[in-house]
Amino acid sequence: MKENYPFKAYICLIFIVSLFLNSHAQSPGDIAFIAFNADGDDDFAIVALTELAANSTIYITDNESDGAGGITSGEGTLTWFTGTTSIKAGTVVVFTDVDNGTNPNFGVSIGLLSETGGFKIPASSKEGILAFVGTDDSSPTSFIAAIQIGNDPSNLGPFDGDEITLTNTGLVIGTSIIVVDSSASPDGAVYNASRASQTSYNEYYTLLIDDDSNWTNVVNGDGETLLPFSSEAFTIHTTIWTGTTSNVWNISGNWSNGIPTSSSLATVPDVTTSPIINSGTEAIVGNMTIDTGENLTINSDNSMSVSGLLTINGSLEMNSGSSLLVSGTSTGNITYNRTLGTTNWYLVSSPVSGQGIVDFYTNESPALGDGVGDAQNIGIAPYDNSQVLVTDRWNYYTEGQVDGEDGDDTTDTFISGTGYAVQLQASGNISFTGTIPNDHITSVLSIGSGDAFNLIGNPYPSFIPANDLADGLDNNDDLLSVNTAYLSEETIWFWDQSANAGTGGYQEMNQASSGRYIAPGQGFFVSANTTATFTINENMQSHQSDLFQRNTTSTVPSIHLIMTNGTAIRDADIFYIDETSTGWDNGYDSSIFGGITNEFAIYTHAVADGNGRNLGIQSLPDNNYENMIIPVGVNAVSGTTISIDAATNNFPEAINIYLEDKQDNSFTLLGADTNFSTVLENNLSGIGRFYLHTTPNTLSTNDLEISNNVSIYASSRKNLHIAGIHKGTTKLQLYNILGKEILKTSFEGNSLNTIELPNLSNGLYIAKLSSAAVTISRKIIIQ
């Protein structure tokens, strides 16, 4: 697998430059420590007192200052990447279980965290913690904050003669150093005073330094009792919704003290005119309360960011494609409406926690299916890969489980992070009501008796990146990258209800695809390689201005193959990306969805060593076009008229695209005005008949003799498939890596031949084919 092709290398360079610049952007007093716990696996919290730039790196260490602008060694350092969006002033960031990098809860509430050495806040002892930016975790360029825990200042390092300035660091007690020494050796402490009483952020240091009055200290006890630390934002501005002018959020006259910002404590009381966030607005607020009886609406393509606490005593309604980010915590329910524009099936997930299946059925009128009475299926179904038969894998809820009669209804709720198939009786909105998930969401991946596909879903009322190009940064903070170790391939399969002329179809997506975000309420499939946990990180959330399955454009050369039978449409993609290979490139090649029978399909096989996968996406090197002949597979029944077209994007103008038909002995130029069409005389299932050529030359039947397009691959441990030999007798010899002949047989070519294999050990083998027309050898892998 190759990830760093030129476009991504360029983005990576921009990312590195950004990191370097941002590492020098902070100065003393830009953050402050507001809590710590020295028991258990240690925790602490900070507040940003100025806006922290996106893509910054801040180091936090329990090593001391060396008095010369550096730090000592021997202890530990945390590396905090602040994330791809800026952190607003007043935002509280919580660091959890920081002395144990193997703890699954090790991490940070915003951004990403890693550890070197042994970072530790000793229980019932004394410690000093320094925060700095620098060229790496041992080379500070600017110290920005510190906290002294206990009554021994030497744990921070040497001080100047004034005993308040940490020598050669720029840090000063009262403006960038917090001292918590009301007890000699506290187990934990947390700031407990006002977070809304100051008119500028640096004034909060006057409250933070008073540890006797404004901190809760735990001495000779358990610091864990202070958890969880509050994520209420610090604010310097208060404003109240009045609705005097209109219902538009972003009009100053509708607020008592101006439109809220990230520095605001905002309240929406019960007034005549309820606020609506619309017209492409991103509403921003520090802390917000919606009072009982009041409703806030976020319309489609609009968003809200809350730096601290969101308290919903009334109601908050979100319309399809809107998004909500809460950096702190939220209480109360929201309602998220997703639009289903047809009566087709959709893959959905709940963007809230706690939505009941019975209430959903009662309110949304799902379609009714097979069965009668209590056994009649309804249009709500999770996916069950333990079922051998494809038709049994949709585990439909039934009337008897949801009808409100007999007292035997299901108590199931939509599981966060799990996808469901839903079909309505009539097009319209579906609504999910519940609380906002405030943590990472995990789903159990399984390999069932039927297949290894697992139906996952976006659990948040915000967008999450599916692949690495989604956010334009090569940071591997996307669903495919984070979970690649547990997937049989780095692919996500979406059900697109509008595809194939409105009949719907599965679309594969990987790291070669255009950048894609997954919208709130969207379900999707992945394929597991083991029983494991699929993780959707809370920090992946973002706002986007588009609806479901948002894309950003890929600029690599590509061919889009399209096949139709007059009603249904199927397609496959070929991308040309530097440093990919002609074999299997995980993350850049993707199989078509295998959870259905695919009776009508088009796909490709790898040019070399692809192990027989039916590829909906194949990535090839961006060179040597004329020497890469691509096997094209077709599934269709006899008597079908099929047409095959090719559309291109950023494709070299001098390169022609031809489809070779072995059965008809023909080459067809695929272009803007030309396509291939034929009536099938036999059922087709697999490769062997069609091959795609990309060449600057003009091809004709004279080129057929030199077009030896033969694929050999193990379809299982017991069978070898040979595609591309259409007639005549061919001899097959199979050798192990020591050159010993394992198998010798012959067969009559029929486009796709299956050879039964003896019991073979895992490993590499050489298959040799010889006939009157051709002699070739191929490597195959048995596993």
Which candidate, 478, 465, 457, places its Cα nearest to that of 353?
457
Band of the pLDDT at 781, cuts 50, 70, 90? confident
Last residue of one domain, picked from the residues 293, 310, 332:
332
List CB contacts of 144: < 8 A, sequence separation 6 or more. 26, 27, 28, 29, 30, 31, 58, 131, 132, 133, 176
* pLDDT for position 646: 97
In a domain, 696, yes or no: yes
Look at residue 765 and tell me whether its pLDDT is greater than 90.
Answer: no
Q: Are residues 536 and 587 in the same domain?
A: no
Band of the pLDDT at 502, cuts 50, 70, 90? confident
Q: Are residues 21 and 119 in the same domain?
A: yes
* pLDDT for position 700: 67
Look at residue 14 and tell me whether its pLDDT is greater than 60.
Answer: no
Look at residue 774 and tell me whether its pLDDT is greater than 80.
Answer: no
Helices (H) and strands (E) in the chain, counts: 7, 57
* pLDDT for position 13: 42
Q: Which residue has the higher pLDDT, 766 or 87?
A: 87
Residue 447 CB-half CA count within 13 A: 8
- Cite the beta strand spans of 307-435 per DSSP E: 310-312, 315-318, 323-326, 330-331, 334-340, 346-348, 380-381, 420-422, 428-434
* pLDDT for position 22: 45
* pLDDT for position 737: 82
In a domain, 231, yes or no: no
* pLDDT for position 672: 82
- Hey, what amino acid is at 619? S
Read off the tokens for 375.
Answer: 């056994």
Q: Are residues 516 and 379 in the same domain?
A: yes
Read off the tokens for 138.
Answer: 């041992």
For the stretch 576-624, pLDDT in tens is: 999 999 999 999 999 999 999 999 999 999 999 778 899 999 999 999 9
For the stretch 159-193, pLDDT in tens is: 999 999 999 999 999 999 999 998 899 999 999 99
Band of the pLDDT at 766, cuts 50, 70, 90? confident
In a domain, 772, yes or no: yes
Last residue of one domain, picked from the residues 332, 357, 382:
332
Look at residue 9 and tell me whether its pLDDT is greater than 70.
Answer: no
In a domain, 9, yes or no: no
Q: Are residues 632 and 704 in the same domain?
A: yes
Band of the pLDDT at 12, cuts 50, 70, 90? very low
Total domains in the fold of the chain:
5
CA distance 663 to 431: 53
In a domain, 579, yes or no: yes
Give the Å distances, CA to CA, from 328 to 105, 271, 287, 520.
Answer: 17, 27, 9, 19
CA distance 170 to 181: 21
Q: Are residues 197 and 264 in the same domain?
A: no
The rounded mean pLDDT for the chain is 91
Which candidate, 574, 550, 552, places its Cα nearest to that of 494?
550
Length of the chain: 783
Read off the tokens for 440.
Answer: 């990472």
- Helix, strand, coil abundance in the chain, percent, nearest 5: 10, 40, 50
Residue 524 CB-half CA count within 13 A: 27
Q: Which residues pair with 77 in a beta bridge?
A: 61, 116
For the stretch 218-268, pLDDT in tens is: 999 999 999 999 999 999 999 999 999 999 999 999 999 999 999 999 999
* pLDDT for position 474: 66
* pLDDT for position 101: 87
Look at residue 18 and tell me whether its pLDDT is greater than 90.
Answer: no
Band of the pLDDT at 10, cuts 50, 70, 90? very low
Last residue of one domain, picked from the residues 517, 551, 585:
551
Helix (H, G, I), strand (E, B) or coil at 240: strand
Q: Are residues 684 and 776 in the same domain?
A: no
Question: Looking at residues 6-35, what average pLDDT do you find?
Answer: 62
Look at residue 722 and tell me whether its pLDDT is greater than 90.
Answer: no
- Sign of the alpha-carbon dihedral angle for 341, 346, 349, 354: positive
CA distance 612 to 597: 17
In terms of DSSP H, where are the helices of 540-620?
none
In a domain, 2, yes or no: no
Read off the tokens for 242.
Answer: 């009045």
Q: Are residues 661 and 565 in the same domain?
A: yes
Tokens 């943590």, residue? 439
Q: Are residues 521 and 576 in the same domain?
A: no
* pLDDT for position 411: 96
Q: Are residues 258 and 349 in the same domain?
A: no
List CB contacts of 118: < 8 A, sequence separation 6 or more. 75, 76, 99
Q: Are residues 463 and 584 in the same domain?
A: no
Least reliable range by pLDDT among 56-60, 155-159, 277-281: 277-281
Q: Are 46 and 93 in contact (CB under 8 A)?
A: yes
3-state SS track over 726-778: CCCEEEEEEEECCCCEEEEEEEECCCEEEEECCCCCCEEEEEEEECCCCEEEE
Q: What CATH number does residue 737 fall under?
A: 2.60.40.3080
Look at residue 553 and tell me whether its pLDDT is greater than 80.
Answer: no
Band of the pLDDT at 548, cuts 50, 70, 90? very low
Q: Are residues 509 and 547 in the same domain?
A: yes
**By residue range, what is the domain housing residue 222?**
14-226
For the stretch 478-495, pLDDT in tens is: 999 999 999 999 999 999
Look at residue 664 and tell me whether its pLDDT is greater than 90.
Answer: no
Band of the pLDDT at 465, cuts 50, 70, 90? very high
Q: Are residues 575 and 607 in the same domain?
A: yes
In a domain, 641, yes or no: yes
Least reliable range by pLDDT among 254-258, 455-459, 733-737: 733-737
**Straight-line distance from the first to the last Cα atom of the chain, in angstroms, rounded to the nearest whole number:** 19
CA geometry: angle at 731 spanning 727 and 735, to 5°?
140
Q: What Rg value do the Cα atoms of the chain yield, rounded? A: 31
Helix (H, G, I), strand (E, B) or coil at 4: coil
In a domain, 157, yes or no: yes
